[in-house]
Structure 1
Amino acid sequence: MTDTPKTAGAPNTGEPDAGPAVTVVGPGEGETIVLGTTRMRVLEDGTGTGHRLGCTESVLAPHTPGPPQHRHTLHDEGFYVVSGTVRFTVGRQDHDVPAGAFVTVPPGAPHTFANVTDEPAVMLSTFTPSLYVQYFRDLQDAAADGRGLTEEEHLRTMSRYATEPATEFAS
């Protein structure tokens, strides 16, 4: 399901435009990406921000494994846990992050996340710049092509987005 975000610029009053259009993605709107047991809603893919910012909302079903531990070389990520608890693994250290907490991952930091609980978890993720939103689309396409969301497919797709595996922390 792909919904086009609404834009709100200056009202048509005959006066000059007040500036760039503002994007509004309402409840239930936005592009939906399904990756295994994770349902993601794209709130901003970068088209409204000159690709400076991307933002998604993800619902992780209970016992959802995360991607292989990895590090980004070109973008920062932010994760706000809206509900539930998300386990972030940074190197060899686990952090069980509850609702209301925010995690910042700068370039070069090894990380992954998962929902290891019996309850769904919801998180809001930011990507600066927005290039990583396309990564999720590519993973969905790989699953649709029958290749599946194997660790190898994750890593192959990551490599196209300035992301490398943190192999020193592989299990």
Structure 2
Amino acid sequence: MDMNLVVSGAGRALALGGKAVMTVKEDGSRTRGNLMVAEMVIQPDFGAPLQHLHRAHEEAWFVLDGEIEFTSGTRVVRAGAGDWVLVPVGVPHTFGNAGDVPARFLAVMTPDLYLGYFDELSRAMAGATGRATGRATGRATGGATGGATGGAMGGATGGVTDEERGRISAELMAAYPTEVVDPLAWEREHRPG
């Protein structure tokens, strides 16, 4: 094993439905599975993931550009460039772009197991975008047609609605020790008073 440099702009890109792109900088292969790091860009109309919690990994964000709104239970915080947000195992969360310009941040997960979720989500969103494009044009399609700009996370761009993305995401989360939570019920149980 040796030192590794991933230069600016490099990494494995995953389109996550059209309103979010993840560029994987460290996939865990050089950290014995202990760490995953990715740069993400989310558009202003990015539809926030369903509030969820992880049972097997910690997750953190370092905001590079723009402003991200994080929600945990019923608590809401805004993080701007230079801010760091950590979500330990078992704490519900979701996030969205709080501004009117794209937001860019580093996502850090330890261990790296959730990268599989993003790989599967990228493939599923590409397939959903391809099927929607085929329906709209009357042709069958076999896969991704939209890349980083097709599909939708927030709205119905490319035929993939927020509801469809949410359903796909929730189904995948179950395979990665992650569960969708009711924020109000979680709040009552874990932060009474």
TM bucket (normalised to shorter chain) is 0.7 to 0.9
How many residues are matched?
A: 151
Q: Which residue of the partner structure matches residue 22 of structure 1?
A: 3
Structure 1 residue 103 corresponds to structure 2 residue 85? yes
CA RMSD of aligned residues (A): 1.5
Provide the residue aligned with 2:178 in structure 1.
163
1-structure distance, mates of 2:5, 2:34: 17
Letter in 1 for 2:116: Q
Matches within 5 A, 1:52-67: 52-67=34-49
Q: TM-score, normalised by structure 2?
A: 0.74
- Paired residue type of 1:160: A
Instruction: Report the Cα distance in structure 2 between the residues aligned to 1:88 and 1:169, rounded to whole angstroms.
Output: 15
- Give the equivalent residue in structure 1 for 2:169: 154
Structure 1, unaligned runs of 5 or more = 1-19
Unaligned runs of 5+ in 2: 130-159, 186-193
* TM-score, normalised relative to structure 1: 0.84
Matched residue SS, 1:23: coil
For the Cα contact (< 8 Å) 1:63–1:117, is it kept in 2? no
AA paired with 1:22? M
The DSSP-based 3-state class of the residue aligned with 2:112 is coil
Alignment of structure 1 residues 85-164 onto 2, 5 Å: 85-146=67-128, 148=160, 150-164=165-179
Distance 2:184 2:120 in 1: 25
- Higher alpha-carbon deviation: 21-30 or 152-161: 21-30
CA deviations 1:61-88 (Å, max 9, x no partner) are: 1121221100000000110001110000
The amino acid of 2:128's aligned partner reads: G
Confirm or deny that 1:73 pairs with 2:88.
Answer: no
Give, in whole Å, the separation in 2 of the partners of 1:54 and 1:168: 27
SS of the counterpart of 1:140?
helix
| Contact 2:59 2:87 survives alignment (8 Å) | yes
Residue-by-residue CA offset, 1:125-160 (whole Å, 9 max, x unaligned)? 110000111111100111122275521111111111
Moved over 6 A (4+): none
Are 1:64 and 1:116, in contact at CA under 8 Å, matched by a contact in 2?
Answer: no
Secondary structure of 1:146's counterpart equals helix
Q: Quote the Cα distance in structure 2 between the aligned partners of 1:155 and 1:141.
A: 15
More helix by share: 2
